[in-house]
Amino acid sequence: MQKPLHALSNKWTFLLLFILSFVLYGNTIFNDYGYDDVFVVKGNKYVQEGIAGIPAIFENPYAVVDSVQLDKRPITLITFAVEHQLFNDNPHISHFINIILYALTLLVLYVLLQQAFQLEKVNKWLPLLIVVLFAIHPLHTEVVSSLKNRDELLVMLFGLLYLLLSYKYAHASSRRVLYLSLAIFSLALMLLSKITGFVFVFIGIAMFVFYKWHSINKRNWFFVLWSVLLLFRGLYVTLEGVNRKFLVFENPLIKETNLLVKIGTAFLILLHHIKMLIFPNPMLFYYGGNTFPLVTLGNPLALFSMLLHVTFFVYGCVKFFKREMIGLFIICYFISIMLYANFPIPYTSMYAERTQFISSLWFILIMVSLFNLLSSLKPIKGHFGLNNMFVLIVLSVVFIVYSFLTINRNFYWKNSLILMEKDMPYLENSIIANYIYANNLKYESKQAIDTSTSKLLAQKAVTHYRQAIKLVPGFPEFHYKLASTYRYNLKNLDSAEIYYGYALSLDSIYADANYEMAKLFFDKADFQRSNYYFEKTYPLKPTDSMTLFYYGQTALKMGNLSTAYKIDKEFLNLYPNHYYPYVNLGVYYSTALKDDSAVIYFDKAIEKGYREPSLLAKLAYYYETKGNQEKAKYYRSLSR
């Protein structure tokens, strides 16, 4: 039997969208792990366990950075765990899978526009046109090119599936249980990919009301209830244990008390949303504090933005209740941006390109409607007529420019340093961007084999740490990281001492800064000052192995034998399987009693894996003088 024409059409359309996805993002396959990817791949111990780690993934947060614990996103991490099981840590496979997910998202979107929105009835080319405009939008590069943002891809894919299956459930005369089950399952997968996907529930409700699905079948209310209950369950499960604290230099609106400033700045950023949807340049890896000025509602741009958005919203509501499709699109756009509007709750970094992944779809639909493409793209004898020449020219320019920006931006996502190097000229006043870039430069400096390259990277790190300090002089961590760069990358102990001092002047109980200052003086053989800082460090880090190791040695150097013995015994009790406490106790006994007790602990240290050549030589000599040739030979062999 011959296939229906629309089935053949869809088959070739799907192939076209797959090809388009790889044309746009195929160059990302050659990229490495990028900005923040390490936290969800190499840095996640459960992902590193592969399939065996999946049960733990459901119980643990998406990422833990220092003491910060994020929400749970198990479905996203499971995809990486399965990849690790099959391909180990391979960023190229991961980037390839991201492109596949993007292509699948485009396919689902195309079917949704055809069936749920029935745009094909307006014009058969309209669904494809909208999907292509969505596919080429440069703002999506952060989502597709960054592995860490796979959660956004999965949210979009499962969210669109949820809307499509909701439509099928609402209209089906048979297999309703199947559609109900699949829709709820898609919703669950979406919420477990990233909880921000909850906006699709509200979008679904907006479609439910707009199309009056309740009038088709009264049991459709049951579906809405199920969706809302699952949403609340998802919020409870995924947000349990979250302790993400916002810093004022991530978003100064967190501490802002002036309501007019809060509203004015929020509208200014919302205007930036629209600007980036139309003219997506420059695109930046981070925004945050100082990227946007704090303005009152009296600011001309803020006031214009408020009037624009309020007018737009009122217009959308009127059209929504008149059952005109542009009204639905406008309402869905506002639903999509509500999490990132900075009012009443400030968004973490004020703005991020990935936050517009969902809203960009509704914005494109709004623009298509406003330009009257719903009625003007009527084919004449299978081709667009001359009356549509202007539209064709505009669409061609948009396609070429957006595609170029997308493909070009992907190259900069090759790795973190390339991306940040490209963006930093626009981020001079971004506090966190300078700090993040400096951290990456510091890390790459340590990894560099060539000494001159290492020094150059470290000096650039110093420049950007200094810029972060210039913008926020009172934050001790910036001084600490600058000191650490001088200490470990540039081997400049004097400068390191100065900036550790600045960090401690701002926070006297900064545990890491106290430890590093103590260790610095230990390495300088200034044991009096080293002991002073270890006395401050010890109550702050009483179980830290390196604190105990060096504090015990410092106390011994100072002749404080009772303190040295106390610390070393605590060290041994806490870490009985580590060789360091045995080394310390061996040194203690050889210093305090100068008897054979020291050898017992040194023997134990060697048994645990300690291999210091001079100690091995001394032990070989010791056993030789005792007539134990077997032991002497053993230690000489280890020494060799």
pLDDT single digits (tens) 290-304: 899 999 999 999 999
% the chain with pLDDT above 70: 95
Residue type, 297: L
* Whole-number CA gyration radius for the chain: 31
Residue 531's nearest CA partner among 518, 544, 543, 542 is: 518
Q: Which residue ranges make up each domain of the chain?
A: 12-243+389-415, 248-377
Which comes out higher in pLDDT, residue 82 or 631? 82
Residue 309's nearest CA partner among 253, 371, 257, 359 is: 359
Quick one: pLDDT at residue 376? 52
- CB 564 within 8 Å of CB 555: yes
Structure tokens at 534: 């270890």
Cα–Cα distance measured from residue 465 to residue 363, given in angstroms and rounded to the nearest whole number: 39
Residue 571's nearest CA partner among 601, 592, 593 is: 601
Residue-wise pLDDT for 347-384, tens only, equals 989 999 999 999 999 999 999 888 764 455 454 443 43
pLDDT surpasses 70 at 492: yes
Which whole number is the average pLDDT over 388-397?
82
Which whole number is the average pLDDT over 76-93?
95
pLDDT surpasses 70 at 283: yes
pLDDT surpasses 60 at 386: no
Quick one: pLDDT at residue 372? 62
* DSSP-based three-state secondary structure for 35: coil
Cα–Cα distance measured from residue 207 to residue 223, given in angstroms and rounded to the nearest whole number: 13
Q: Which of 165-169, 267-271, 633-637 has the lowest mean pLDDT?
A: 633-637
Quick one: pLDDT at residue 123? 80
Residue type, 283: M
Which whole number is the average pLDDT over 137-151?
96
Which whole number is the average pLDDT over 548-558?
93
Which whole number is the average pLDDT over 585-595?
82
Structure tokens at 233: 């369950």
Which whole number is the average pLDDT over 162-175?
90
Which whole number is the average pLDDT over 549-577?
93
pLDDT surpasses 60 at 385: no
- CB 260 within 8 Å of CB 302: no
Predicted TM-score of the model (pTM)? 0.89
| Length of the chain, in residues | 640
pLDDT surpasses 50 at 459: yes
pLDDT surpasses 70 at 4: no
Residue-wise pLDDT for 61-75, tens only, equals 888 777 778 899 999
Which whole number is the average pLDDT over 412-431?
95
% the chain with pLDDT above 90: 72
Cα–Cα distance measured from residue 121 to residue 325, given in angstroms and rounded to the nearest whole number: 13
